[in-house]
Structure 1
């Protein structure tokens, strides 16, 4: 498999990073993960805009135009002959410059996952809504990785974080939505979440359906009283939740979730 590093197409094992760079020492950098299908990258403009904004917030001097990164992305897809999969764009601090690394891999989610739904659990690890990094897709991802690894070992697919004030926030790799009495709820950004590209698309679609949408501060109890729950990210898109720590959700009756999935599929189809 090939990767692209600063515009140069190389083998995965051929890239070299500075052993004394801030990326290695401090995890100084950020990334975007995107889905692509039939060589078409989904929401590339939105991801690149968030990447550029994140670089500014981290004082990463990204001197490469978004249009050139887009060109590199399609070049990498073509070189690897993988027409459908996952694209990752990473920007890291390497002493006096920023390295831009593009890589691709297969998308691991299957139709069976959506038919069966995901199982979620809560974690005692708390989100800090006052942290700068909470709102940036930074390379400081170890906490998410460790918490989700523990959840996977217990038979769950994803975790639910609450913040220091006891309000639900997000998953390790996803944003959270729930439905009660026909209203679609999601934690507000200020609760301490990464504002997902897919989260914003779902909110846009929901409002287009005249679905009542509320973004606010909610508790674990609020989530467990829901009639439907689903999680989102750019790879999962809309993943139904079948269970949260023993509380079951009937995937045959999650009408709002099914409607949003259908509308999203139509939206994507219209973009092709």
Structure 2
């Protein structure tokens, strides 16, 4: 498998980074995960906007343009013969001296990984459980998609390896937050609800995209601070992320939801894929 590494396309087994990289030493770095459909990365511009914002906040002196990243991803897709794939675009601070650095990082390590997508059945359902581990507070004013991933790792261990289960974080104050690797939505009385970004969740790219689609299927949208009870009484519940798209929730503990048969969940899923098909056909 090939990867993009600091301006070159190399075999993954040939890659190496400096032990002095502050991404390794101090977790200074950000990343994006996205899907390609027939070689075209979906919502790439939005992912790059978030990535570039994170780099500025971490004082990593690199900004990425849509055209250059598109070219890299399309080249990788050709080399690996993977038109439909999982992409991870990873930027760490790069090498520095041992010790906390206050000046900007001028030589970041830039890596794009690509791998095959697992086989996802359309609208496959999941069970959600409430985590005992609370969501940690963001390191900055808003949560970055950063290398500080310990909270998610420990949460995943709490859930276990079952791919059909997702853990839901609560904040320290008991408000609904997000999944281990997903954003959370539910529908009640023609209103699409989701926890507010102010709870400390990641402002997901697919989350924002779904909020934009909601009005097109006749839903109003409400972001806020919610309790478990608000979710449990919902008619439809689903999760989103850039790789799995829209994932219906079948149950939470003894509470049963509409799952893949949810009226609005199905509409959003089909509209999502109509836009993906349109995106691919116009490229």
Match among 200, 209, 218 for residue 217 of structure 2: 209
TM-score normalised by the chain length of structure 1 = 0.93
RMSD: 1.8
Separation of aligned partners in 2, 1:5 and 1:270: 31
Match of 1:182 in 2: 190
- State the match for 2:268 in structure 1: 260
Deviates more, 1:210-219 or 1:261-270: 261-270
SS of equivalent residue, structure 2 residue 67 = helix
Distance change (3 Å), C-alpha of 1:165 and 1:109? farther
Please say if 1:97 is aligned against 2:107. yes
Aligned to 1:77: 77
Taking the aligned partners of 1:133 and 1:59, their CA distance within structure 2 comes to 15
Provide Cα deviations, 1:118-165, integer angstroms capped at 9, x if missing partner. Answer: 111111222244532861100111221221133134775211011122
Shift of 1:189: 0.6
Single out whichever of 223-232 and 56-65 deviates more from structure 2.
56-65
| Equivalent pair of 1:128/1:134 in contact (CA under 8 Å) | no
Matches of 1:118 and 1:164, distance apart in 2: 25
Q: Report the equivalent of 2:151.
A: 143
Task: Please give the TM-score of this superposition, normalised by the length of structure 2.
Answer: 0.90
* Stretches of structure 2 lacking an aligned partner (at least 5 in a row): 97-105
Q: 2-side partners of 1:252 and 1:128: how far apart? A: 31
CA distance in 2, matches of 1:44, 1:257: 24
Alignment of 1:57-206 (within 5 A): 57-62=57-62, 64-94=64-94, 95=96, 96-111=106-121, 114-115=123-124, 117-129=125-137, 131-132=139-140, 135-153=143-161, 157-206=165-214
Q: Residue by residue, what CA displacement relative to the aligned partner does 1:168-199 show, whole Å, maximum 9, x if unpaired?
A: 01111100000112211001110111111111
Task: State whether residues 129 and 190 of structure 1, in contact with CA within 8 Å, keep that contact through their aligned partners in structure 2.
Answer: no
Following TM superposition, the consecutive aligned residue runs of length 4 or more in structure 1 with deviations greater than 6 angstroms are none
Number of residue pairs matched by the alignment: 270
Which residues in structure 2 correspond to 1:201-240 (within 5 Å)? 201-240=209-248
Instruction: Measure the CA separation in 1 of the matches of 2:57 and 2:146.
Output: 11
Partner of 1:22: 22
Greater Cα shift, 84-93 or 57-66 = 57-66
Residue by residue, what CA displacement relative to the aligned partner does 1:14-49 show, whole Å, maximum 9, x if unpaired?
A: 111111221111111110001011111101111111
For residues 90-145 of structure 1, give each alpha carbon's deviation from its aligned partner in whole angstroms, at most 9, with x where no partner exists.
00011251011001011124116x24x01111112222445328611001112212
Partner residue, 2:101: none
CA–CA separation in structure 2 for the residues paired with 1:222 and 1:55: 36
Structure 2 counterpart of 1:56: 56
